[in-house]
């Protein structure tokens, strides 16, 4: 078995940017602001490490949507706390 290939914050950031590409047009700048604040993305990275520990397949692209979803959930919780 090879060493796990962890997800980086930049990979998750790129995926979030892809998901949020339409937020400016939809008038959701607060959503973008809240999601961009944490720069560590450790919740998403934790998902990546959990995946890597449970499988022999080391393909970060498989787990990237789940890691991004966790970061979106994290942003949602932060936004709800602000409101």
Whether pLDDT at 83 is above 50: yes
Instruction: Show the domain range for 14.
Output: 9-82
Rounded to whole angstroms, how far apart are CA atoms 61 and 66?
A: 10
Residue 2 corresponds to which tokens in the numbers above? 């090879």
Contact residues for 30 (Cβ-Cβ < 8 A; gap 6+): 79
Q: Looking at the domain assignment, is residue 3 inside a domain?
A: no
Q: Looking at the domain assignment, is residue 55 inside a domain?
A: yes
Q: Looking at the domain assignment, is residue 60 inside a domain?
A: yes
Q: pLDDT-based confidence at 1, cuts 50/70/90?
A: very low
- Its pTM stands at 0.74
Q: Which tens digits make up the pLDDT trace of 9-63?
A: 888 888 888 877 766 666 567 777 777 777 788 898 899 889 988 888 778 888 9
Residue 9 corresponds to which tokens in the numbers above? 């914050």
Q: Looking at the domain assignment, is residue 27 inside a domain?
A: yes
CB neighbours (10 Å) of residue 36? Answer: 13
Structural domain tally of the chain?
1
List the one residue out of 23, 11, 22, 13 whose CA is nearest residue 79.
23
């Amino acid at each position: 078995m090879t060493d796990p290939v962890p997800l980086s914050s930049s990979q998750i950031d790129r995926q979030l940017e892809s998901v949020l590409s339409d937020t400016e047009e939809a008038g959701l700048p607060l959503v973008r602001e809240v999601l961009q604040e944490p720069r560590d993305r450790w919740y998403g990275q934790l998902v990546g490490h959990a995946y890597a520990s449970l499988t022999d397949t080391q393909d970060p692209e498989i787990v990237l949507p789940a890691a991004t979803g966790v970061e979106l959930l994290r942003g949602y919780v932060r936004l709800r706390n602000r409101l």
